[in-house]
Amino acid sequence: MWGRSFEDCFKWETDNGKIENDSNDILRKKVEDKSHELRQLNGEDLQGLTLQELQKIEEHLKRGLSNVSKLKDEKVMQEISALKRKGVELMEENQRLKKVPSLIPLHRQSSESIISNSSNLPEDGGSDTSLKLGLP
């Protein structure tokens, strides 16, 4: 660059700018083409297409749908497997908890008898309280 004249440098910069413009034009055209393709895949801009072009789009969509369905099925199966594992874990936990000694006595007094016993308390101005124990 040091041994070049001003005109040579200007020409080099102009050529470089032309290359950038050409690259931008190519990229802009690619984006435009892909956007048009996407609109067609979404069912838009189909009026001017031939039967063969429409069939090509239809096959492309069928392959895509098939891939989506396969992936969805795999994910559903994974979810089912995870839920089955969780169910087995919960059943094991339930069995383990059944073996743990309970804090509730095995011979329980019914909640009705507790309430009826508390109603036999003298009514000498004391407070009336009741306690209900047991499972609903």
- At 21-62, the pLDDT tens digits run 888 899 999 999 999 999 999 999 999 899 999 999 999 999
Residues found in the chain:
136
Mean pLDDT calculated for residue range 61-69: 96
* Rounded distance between C-alpha atoms, residue 4 and residue 1, angstroms: 5
Mean pLDDT of the chain: 80
Mean pLDDT calculated for residue range 79-103: 91
For residues 90-120, b (16+ Cβ closer than 10 Å) or e, as one string?
Answer: eeeeeeeeeeeeeeeeeeeeeeeebeeeeee
Give pLDDT, residue 56.
95
Q: Which two tokens stand for residue 102?
A: 């309970």
Q: Which residues contact 46 (CB under 8 A, 6 or more apart)?
A: 40, 54, 57
In the chain, where the domains are located: 8-45, 50-100
pTM (2 decimals)?
0.49
Cβ 80 vs Cβ 102: under 8 Å: no
Torsion angle defined by CA atoms of residues 40, 41, 42 and 44, in that order, rounded to the nearest 10 degrees? 10
pLDDT band (50, 70, 90) for residue 1: very low
